[in-house]
Copies of this chain bind each other. A is one copy, B any other.
């Protein structure tokens, strides 16, 4: 069977392959100059992310479906972090002319699966030629009348919480890098197809959360941003607590040393867990677990993140958007 490449088709033919498998429901869906979505709240939440081949994914490590899934989910997580529900995605795809069209079909299938899982739609986008595969996604969301959950709302005395999991994506990437995927396929899957706790985002808003954010660049780095925005100190519990148990489980499954596994949980990105803060009196929604406390900065102390009361000095997983990587 002849291999069909992207360059063999024009944009209309590519769209005709791309759109049918996607949920596209909107007041006005793709096909006109722009889509029209309902925004019943009178406000709209909007966020954008770009994934670039060789930097954010590798085609030999992730299928088109994996990339489509991940592109949707990392944006859905940002919308959820605001306490909103996702009302639609716009997905632009740049592709080399020699890319096999089956990769595009596969991308659409993964994107569609993620949308159906979340209950959202692809309402627009663009296809273009490019030297490498580039995926640019915008997600829109509705707040349902609630105030958005910001990074700046944490107050001294709040509980620090996590919905979802941490460290599994980094552990899966490490297995891929070591050629040891067979040791824990479920972790490789967690790297390829993260499942953010999207329903926990609006649930946190309803339960009175004071702050929330998506953990995309690693817990310590993102918690540092929340601490800075709120001008507080976050003290996370590792030893003998949930984060430590997650690390121990990763060490046991993958055979990495304990400190390495701690590093996965504390600094690994791309799980898209939701980091939250709640007043101590709040009733936490299902799936939201306490991982630390917020306290005020001391005299001369800058906002920061501590682990078991001290700055983290253990191993970490580096991440630089401008360097080639996994």
Contacts and interface: CB of A to CB of B under 8 A. Distances in A.
A134 to B, nearest CB: 5
Interface in A218-276: 229
A164 to B, nearest CB: 14
A322 B6 contact: yes
Interface stretch (A16-24, A32-40, A110-118, A288-296): A32-40
A129 B324 contact: yes
Interface in A38-93: 38-52, 54-56, 78-79, 81-82, 84, 88, 90-93
Interface string A1-28: 0000011011100000000000000011
A37 to B, nearest CB: 5
Interface in A120-135: 123-132, 134
Interface stretch (A137-145, A169-177, A178-186, A301-309): A137-145
B33 A82 contact: yes
A136 B81 contact: no
A97 interface: yes
Copies of this chain present in the complex amount to 2
Query: Contact size class for A?
Result: 35 or more
A39 B42 contact: yes
A48 B127 CA distance: 10
Given A40-B42, A47-B124, A322 B35 contact: no
Contact of A46 (B51, B90, B94, B97): B90
A244 B256 CA distance: 73
A194 to B, nearest CB: 15
Given A42-B42, A48-B90, A36 B143 contact: yes
Nearest to A39: B39
Contacts of A93: 50
Interface of A: 6-7, 9-11, 27-28, 31-52, 54-56, 78-79, 81-82, 84, 88, 90-95, 97, 123-132, 134, 136, 138-141, 143, 148, 150-152, 213-214, 229, 320-324
Given A39-B42, A50-B126, 10 more contacts: A10-B321, A32-B151, A34-B139, A36-B82, A48-B124, A50-B93, A51-B128, A52-B134, A134-B134, A134-B136
